[in-house]
Structure 1
């Protein structure tokens, strides 16, 4: 009878597996719903442009949305820590910090460096080559600021290195002539990379001999009106890589700068714009992916959790970086209900898998009892009355 019961157990397991179309699913339970889906680490680092210019009064100008963290100051290290935690959860490896040499910017950069270093999070720097009115800074100031950054900040290991040198970007190079860019970058390029921010292959080539590549800050591209913008990014990548230099490819979740003098808008389309632009950036074979932006609330290109959009952009970005199925739309959330890793469709699928396994285990005793009953009936028909026995895996005889 023991042998028959063991056979019955195996048969019941096989039958249960057939109900699900997969024998292994009858005996293997997947990860708990809270466990994130495993995926290979993306090879290309993702950095988000990050701004440290916020005071509480900054939020009173040209804003149509606000962070879930409130109208914060960029001196608040608690805000910095939360930003980095959220960014890491979505696959962002570092921030490209907007900077020029002022007392306020230096203080805030040092605070951010301390927080990022403790969190094993990388930084890069984009120099503010244009002033508030979009005019170029005096080249003497640019050169002095870049030299000061090289001496006081760049040696810190918190800054991302490519080819052994810390990554920096010179914003607004299109407003400077070739010789002025050379004066600014020449003294520092032995110790750090300085990328231009040109908008075309011709623009990059104009400065190729005095810079180390290009980081195109293309926040306003509209995939609907521009069509497939991938060829432009690919052409820039090809030209830069032929020179053995570095390419930072841009992508953004949307854009609206009308309150700061702009006229163009790009609808977020519930995350679809972010997906399309991310795909185009990845196809250009970049050395770094440059997300525009973490917190540019004046141009409305931010992915930081906000009152209007909640965590939608980070949820989509997390799916893109993990290779998971895109999550369902999320409503705007307050800071007490922000989504974390494992939320969305991927988490729902794991929960569905767990429920399937629970149902399977619940039905298993029924299948087993019916099978044992049929065997017992067959034995009685042959005139044999075998006493009940305990299976080795059931020492209490409760089966």
Structure 2
């Protein structure tokens, strides 16, 4: 059996969006597997950094890995979800550049390290398996640092089991509230629940909320250093997150502080899929913003450099679609295309105040006129839209 065949045979909650499984979920079984596999494979101990938060954790994780590799450290980066291939989730950064593992290398490692114990892995979910597989793969690669972006929450997230040395907390907002809690305080507690006894330091973005700030400062039970960094907003959210990553890393690796501070945003590799220009003539920009806070940040940033634009918006069924639509009011949107293809949510009646011509679409062909037009296009709402739009752009280019 091959790696991708095995992976796709597992329960994928990201795809089904059946989060009811978390009501009875524990990490106990997975923890035992981590322990047995760690002993069997004699896992080496790099420095590990966990990244949790509602918005910005993906780009912050990417910049941490990029910075460390510029400093000369071989760095593993575990993120989710992926844009086109699951192999993107466990990259190794060297010399400042990310390297998606070659399929043949992954297959060889899977065949030698996983297949002999196949039955022990068969009960795992898609995310659980990718987490422990990446843990083993990074050890095989002899990484010196590892960055672990949490999937959902923290307290019960599979990445908790890597037992990070340091924790980074990005922005807290309302998302997955049916699982994590109906307030920012409850969500923050779930995120901080990823802390284990081996953690040596916590750096958090300033939540601009005294209650949340106090909660973060007092959460660690073992009195580790906690630093809350005031945000210095830059023209783009990516630059803001890069500077946050730099400051956090200087705390964790103080002996490299001068070198870290000398690295500019332009030197770091930009994360794929974040405000990425994926098409020209017309300009087509993709960003995975998928909750009201992120949508507000991304659309207003885009509007600063575009007097008008068209918008393609898709949202998964469990997202706050009404809250997302509310953030589009008063933006210079020429036309709004709502993607309601397979696996996506259905939007409510659209408010007239948007003032844009609105079309609901379910097939790639219905987007074709938009991508053959002249106005800039912003694509938002889900990582899943990246592959759909990239394929359509490629087909349009080849026409």
TM bracket (short chain): under 0.3
Higher alpha-carbon Rg: 1
Structure with larger RCO (C-alpha < 8 A, sep 6+): 1
TM-score, normalisation: structure 2: 0.27
Instruction: Tell me the TM-score normalised to structure 1 length.
Output: 0.27
